[in-house]
A and B are shown apart, each in its own frame.
Chain A
Amino acid sequence: MKFDSSLNQLRPLPGALPESGRGEFILSVDGLVTRLNNGARVVDDISFSLKQGETFALLGESGCGKSMTALSLMRLLPDGIRVASGDIKLGEEDILALPEYAMRKVRGGQMAMIFQEPGLSLNPVMTVGDQIAEVLILHQRLRGKEIHSRCVELLEQVGISDAPRRASEYPFQLSGGMKQRVMIAMAMAGQPKLLIADEPTTALDVTIQAQVLKLLRDTQQETGMALLLITHDLGVVAQMAHQVGVMYAGQIIEQASREQLFARPAHPYTQKLFAALPDAGRSGQPLAAIPGNVPSLGAPLAACRFAPRCDKAWALCHEQVPEWTQLENGQGVRCHLYTSQMGNEKLNLKTSLSPAPSTASGEGAGEEGRGASFLQVENLQVHFPIRKGILQRTVGHVKAVDGVSMNIPEGRTLALVGESGCGKTTVGKALLQLITPTAGSVRFAGQELIGITAGQLRKHRAGMQMIFQDPYASLNPKMRVAEILQEGMDALSIAKNSDERQRRIDELLEQVGLEKASKWRYPHEFSGGQRQRIAIARVLAVNPNLLICDEPTSALDVSVQAQILNLLKSLQQQLRLSYLFISHNLAVVEYLAHEVYVMYLGRIVERGTVEEVLHAPKHPYTQALLSAVPRIDGQGMKTIRLPGETPSPSHPPQGCHFHTRCAQAMAKCREVYPSETIISTTHRVHCYLAAE
């Protein structure tokens, strides 16, 4: 990451009002402290203010107090947590001094909130219209026909087509993106001055995320409301924020305008966050991972909270809490580097901070591993029958995977990319025979896996293993780490006696960077990143050749994600593992993969090497997918908006599956599925555009 050069590349935000157009302060928070009942500070001395029409982004990893700040503002803190001191002013009103009945008027009326999981924040037994009407009756005092017409108006405003019909539908009839739109409509119904968006797009696909972010920007431009955006995604911040506050362990450690922050992050933690982001430029070398984890709430307060993970920390950092320092350009930071003599000296030395990108080593590692195909998949199909009626007759099929072919050579990484519901996880499970494929052939190291008996299959189990998405669900909470690691060895009789097994367990733990002592502990004693390490150790226990990684980092924080990616990369080099890397995160794919397959509705629409697919995409879907990813440098391609949602795999559209959302669709796209077009030896695409 070159901090200086990216300064000029930030585009002005389309939704931003000119500086002079922003009005007076809508929200000002001063010295907010929120505590648990036992005294631990969840939110520690936070101050910021927000002008009309402005977006303030709170950026931070999970558990650093972002959501608690938002809930403190709304005075919706859960039991056992309360605001201990500080001032919250919304306009002229002191929020903390208001009685509860007046607070109810503020919530929704002046300050609205949208949540992360749109599926959980709508009441499943009320129609969408009724839920919006509830807000309208309370805060707008509308009556009778007015309510319905305003409802429809709001739904149209958030871009829901056929709004009058949608208003009388229940949440389960809507897709995830639509539900989030409805949530925004609900929040807008009270015409709030301030909208708090708590990770509004985290649960959504990139293309839908792009839609929702655009919607938020447009709404802000129309109504001039202030937006408090809570997120962990630097890309989203780059697209949305005017001001950014970086939170760490309950404190804002750095506050700056977007341009300043992306040009010159001041705090070591922020610098590390940027450095931990994977991208293609660094695919040859390890990411700058931040060691360790976010400290727990009860951690001592006597020192800088980041000191244990900071490579620039010195004695002072471990002794004294750094003060809030305002730099000349208006940027604020909480770090000793900027206050003390010692710090200034260190600052001048920090030139070697950003690792020089060395593309040569990346290429070299990529070329050597072109062995024979290890896994050959041909025309793999997984169809789930749809049964209806008393006799459970099959009336149709959900074609989750519809003819997928792939080859993975030894020591290479193949990435399978696509939005949720496109069937990529099903491919992984079908390869492992966790789901029985309907048709096709899977040849692993020369042995056909489909159609053999369970006993024969067990012999080949060791070769192919899976790392799951959610490290919290993939480890049995009632088993200790040693038992978890031993299970695979027992089942496949890897080691002979228990001594040998124990030795192997110690070895494995060391290999994935955990202490030996941790084998006697239960999974819940570990953090998300450590759990994922245990999951990796578990599969390594049976000496596999191929790992199917099903979004292994999507549940982890950026800094921890970098640790896991580094681990996977180094394991590949040490053990010559092949990976089938299933992901929706294109930056991770770019960093880790050699080849990329793009999947849409159960079929591969484009495949090729990383450079070919991600830098010269031929299929309009790949192009749209790439353009929807928020880039931290703000450049990227012109955003191609994909209208609508992924169609249901039970009724795929006639012809090319993508034509319903494709801007360049032609008449023949609607009739026949395009056959494969060979662009180069490795690059193939299913699209008529490329064929011409």
Chain B
Amino acid sequence: MIYLLLATVLAAALWIRKRPHLVLPWQRVAKGSVGMVSLLLLSLFVLVGLLDTLHYRAALPEKSNGQTVYSAEVLSVFDVLAKGIKSRTEKTYSAPLAAYLYAKESMETSDGKILRDYPRLRYGGAHLVDPQREFLGDVLKRTGIGALEGLLIGVLLIAISNMLFHFFIKFRTVWSSTGREISKDNWISTFTRAMKNKPFKALLITTLLIAMLLGITANLAAVYHVLGTDKVGQDVLYLALKSIRTGLVIGTVTTLVMLPFALLLGIAAGYLRGWVDDVIQYIYTVLSSIPSVLLIAAAVLMMQVYIEMHPEWFETSAARADLRLLFLCLILGVTSWTGLCRLLRGETLKLRELEYIQAAQAFGVSSSRILTRHIVPNVMHIVLIAVVMDFSSLVLAEAVLSYVGVGVDPSTMSFGTLINSARLEMGREPMVWWTLAAAFGFMLVLVLAANLFADAVRDAFDPRLNRT
């Protein structure tokens, strides 16, 4: 299904490219630095999410009756890439970049005494002989190396994309052959020319910064737990990265489920009035007066029982968890369209009295055509804003639901389960803060990037803001 989505996006992009008036607003998006930087961040998140979606099951070495047997554990490409941090599990909590466990344990020293102290971690900082002395130097060294490496890779990446871009332009000038002299400038001058425009500069700086950050993280993560470990010793960084996919799926799929309901019912109610309006209004008034958590909990529990009764449907636990996630999206979608629907109805009520709608009616344009050609484009800005707001709030709603216990499958890693597990440890002394901080940080960046990007898109598409 996610592939279908991707294909749709690609097809839409190609379709738009052919039509110059549709390309124009996107070019405007490309001219804004905020939009481009948030797009870069967003695409990084999407990349992680996609890598995490490419599932496979490893073939086991032994064969039964000549048939390949697959392991019960489903791995994703991302799991393989992050194999290092995935497999290094400690006993329990450890602080970020720690070499010792967060809890005291009784240990037997070499001379037979029982000592109660913080034990060394199995993996984190295991290469250090005397962590207390060497620790700071080692971290700094690795940070430095990581930053340098990241910078190098970043510069290399930029150079390569610049070269590609340069050849692309040359290729185009050759093909278009408008009599223009084939530019003699080499790829350096292409670069300096590109440097002159502002969003490109911003993009460049962001790329370098992100590359450095990634370099540092990769370098440190090789021997430390950068964001610490959770109760069962799993690396929090790994968990947080895995949560991205859940967040993205909940955000997008729920929005997609909700949108047709809200859009169709909202503008139909507003435009057609009469009994249609009455029926739709009653439905959403009733729906929105039931506490949504209750409704969702009931639906999720019913679905859960149903799934449990048919274990034979699922080959792996991952498939079951995914189905549960999808159902959650569906239920969230069905219950959360009322707000947007109400907004759209109000806006449509306003629009239908406008003179261009009446002009269309005077032409005898059919209702469905008026709805799609006149009303939908003019409520699109509301839809876009509402969708992004909802995307953010749905990611948060998932967290709340997981807290109540009706959210995603417990085996699915999500920001909600992460926060839920962190909640219990907030009261602990000394406090375990890193799980919550990690979930908070990742969610913030994700939602903020989405919000900013949507802002940039909306501004670019508003003809009134783009007077030439």
User: Could you tell me which A residues sit within 8 Å of B by CB distance?
Assistant: 429, 432, 434, 454, 457-458, 461, 464-466, 468-470, 473-480, 487-488, 490-492, 520, 522, 524-525, 535, 538-539, 542
Contacts and interface: CB of A to CB of B under 8 A. Distances in A.
Contacts of A488: 363, 365
A524 B464 contact: yes
Interface stretch (B52-60, B155-163, B242-250, B372-380): B372-380
B364 interface: yes
Contact of B355 (A432, A465, A474, A520): A474
Given A479-B377, A522-B463, A524-B463, A542 B363 contact: yes
Contact of B377 (A474, A475, A478, A525): A478
B411 interface: no
> Most chain-B CB neighbours within 10 Å: which of A476, A522, A535?
A476
6 contacts: A461-B363, A469-B355, A478-B463, A480-B21, A491-B360, A491-B364
Nearest to B463: A522
> Most chain-B CB neighbours within 10 Å: which of A475, A478, A492, A525?
A478
A466 B373 CA distance: 20
B359 interface: yes
A492 B377 CA distance: 22
B464 A470 contact: no
A466 B369 contact: no
A470 B355 contact: yes
Contacts of A429: 358
A96 B356 CA distance: 45
Contacts of A520: 21
B463 A465 contact: no
A473 B463 contact: no
A593 B467 CA distance: 38
A505 B390 CA distance: 42
Contacts of B361: 434
Interface residues of B, number: 23
Top 3 A-B pairs ranked by shortest CB distance?
A: A474-B355, A478-B377, A458-B364
A480 B19 CA distance: 13
B369 A474 contact: no
B232 interface: no
Prevailing SS type, chain B contact patch: helix
B468 interface: yes
B464 A468 contact: no
B354 interface: yes
Contacts of A491: 360, 363-366, 369
B362 interface: yes
> Most chain-A CB neighbours within 10 Å: which of B355, B361, B378, B380?
B355
Contacts of B354: 473-474
A557 to B, nearest CB: 20
Contact of B364 (A476, A477, A492): A492
Interface in B8-51: 21
Contacts of A542: 363
Given A461-B363, A466-B358, 17 more contacts: A429-B358, A458-B364, A461-B364, A465-B362, A468-B355, A468-B358, A474-B359, A476-B356, A477-B378, A477-B463, A479-B377, A491-B366, A491-B369, A520-B21, A522-B463, A524-B467, A525-B468
Interface in B323-382: 354-356, 358-366, 369, 373-374, 377-378, 380
Nearest to B461: A478
Given A468-B358, A473-B354, A478 B464 contact: no
Nearest to A480: B21
Contact of B358 (A434, A458, A479): A434
Contacts of B373: 476, 479, 487
A470 B356 CA distance: 10
A679 to B, nearest CB: 36
A473 B360 CA distance: 13
A535 B354 CA distance: 14
Nearest to B351: A476
Nearest to A457: B364
Contacts of B365: 487-488, 490-491
Contacts of A458: 364
Contacts of B377: 476, 478-479
A535 B363 CA distance: 13
Given A478-B463, A487-B373, A466 B359 contact: yes
B363 A487 contact: yes
Contacts of B467: 524-525
A501 B463 CA distance: 25
A553 to B, nearest CB: 15
A476 B376 CA distance: 11
A429 B464 CA distance: 29
A491 B367 CA distance: 11
A475 B463 contact: no
Contacts of B358: 429, 434, 466, 468
Contacts of A470: 355
A432 B355 CA distance: 13
B362 A466 contact: yes
Contacts of B468: 525
B457 to A, nearest CB: 15
B18 to A, nearest CB: 15
Contacts of A487: 360, 363, 365, 373
A313 B360 CA distance: 43
Nearest to B367: A454
A589 to B, nearest CB: 22
A461 B464 contact: no
